[in-house]
Amino acid sequence: NAGVTQTPKFRVLKTGQSMTLLCAQDMNHEYMYWYRQDPGMGLRLIHYSVGEGTTAKGEVPDGYNVSRLKKQNFLLGLESAAPSQTSVYFCASSYIGSTYYNEQFFGPGTRLTVL
């Protein structure tokens, strides 16, 4: 099992450019999440999905869009990148079971710089 993978690992954008970050998981998890990590602020939830075809806003959704067309994939889009979106982005997934604790499994991260 590869677990949770993220593509790309690094990216540099110019202000106003767009891009899509891809998250894939092979654990058949129902829930998937996108976080951003900034120094001193911990992890902040951007958007999440509780199943194929469904998405919901998290704590900091502005400037981002997401799609979950397939259960195993969760895409994060930046339509018009801004320097404030310079961050490390993490994808995570979790399973639903009879004992649901929401233990999340994380990908390795994507480091994005917006100039």
Partner 1 sequence: AQSVTQLGSHVSVSEGALVLLRCNYSSSVPPYLFWYVQYPNQGLQLLLKYTTGATLVKGINGFEAEFKKSETSFHLTKPSAHMSDAAEYFCAVRGADTDKLIFGTGTRLQVFP
CB-nearer residue toward partner 1: 31 or 64: 31
Burial category of 90 from C-beta neighbours within 10 Å (exposed 0-12, middle 13-18, buried 19 and up): buried
- The nearest distance, CB 77 to partner 1, in angstroms, is 21
Chain CA centroid to CA 113, Å? 16
Return the structure tokens found at 90. 């993490």
Interface residues toward partner 1, by CB under 8 A: 4, 31, 40-43, 45, 48, 50, 56, 58, 90, 92, 99-109
CB-nearer residue toward partner 1: 15 or 54: 54
- The nearest distance, CB 62 to partner 1, in angstroms, is 18
In angstroms, the Cα distances linking 100 to 31, 70, 92 are: 11, 22, 16
- The nearest distance, CB 76 to partner 1, in angstroms, is 15
CB-nearer residue toward partner 1: 6 or 85: 6
Question: By C-alpha distance, which of 23, 86, 56 is closest to 65?
Answer: 56
- The nearest distance, CB 40 to partner 1, in angstroms, is 6
